Amino acid sequence: MTVINYKRWWVQSNDLQQSNLLAILCFYDIEDVPQSILAGFNENTLRKLRVLSLLSLCETSAHIKYEHIKEKCDVKNDEDVEELLIQVQLFVDLKIDSVTRTAAILKHKASRDIYGGEKTVPFGSPVRSKTQILSELVNWKRSITD
């Protein structure tokens, strides 16, 4: 089975390099990671981070255009987009439309880790954090009650 949640290993890790990699896989999308760090990743790690980045995108959108996937997941062509979409189907039910170059998110089966301040992260505040989610929920509540 493919792993998408690394938080328990990250929390337990005492090795700085391992901890940083696990934090990236837990909480960051490929566009959040400095190029200098990405340059040190092998192709398997980059592929994993692209799939995780697409999963993040699926968590925030009901319909996704291929161009948006290319931008957010650092891929260059439609074939790579479709390969990512196929891989992410382990975690999300979706409908791929290669004619309109879009994907419709039908059902979420899993989600990525959420940062709760357990320990220091390698750079910047992760987008998927407890604070960010609570803020979005408050804003959502305001939007439906105003």
Domains of the chain, residue spans:
7-145
Q: Which two tokens stand for residue 110?
A: 């899993």
pLDDT digits (tens, 9 = 90+) for 94-104: 999 999 999 99
Q: Which two tokens stand for residue 119?
A: 């320990």
Between CA 117 and CA 114 the distance in angstroms is: 9
Q: Identify the CATH number of the domain defined by range 7-145.
A: 1.10.10.10
Sheet of 63-65: strands edge to edge?
63-65, 102-108, 92-97
pLDDT of 131 reads 83
- Cβ 121 vs Cβ 138: under 8 Å: no
Between CA 123 and CA 125 the distance in angstroms is: 7
Burial zone of 89 (CB within 10 Å; 0-12 exposed, 13-18 middle, 19+ buried): middle
**pLDDT exceeds 70 at position 128:** yes
pTM greater than the 0.75 cutoff: yes
Confidence grade of residue 136 (pLDDT, cut at 50, 70, 90): confident
Q: Give the chain's mean pLDDT.
A: 92
Residue with tokens 């493919």: 2
Q: What percent of the chain shows pLDDT beyond 70?
A: 99
pLDDT (mean) for 49-61: 94
**pLDDT exceeds 60 at position 1:** no
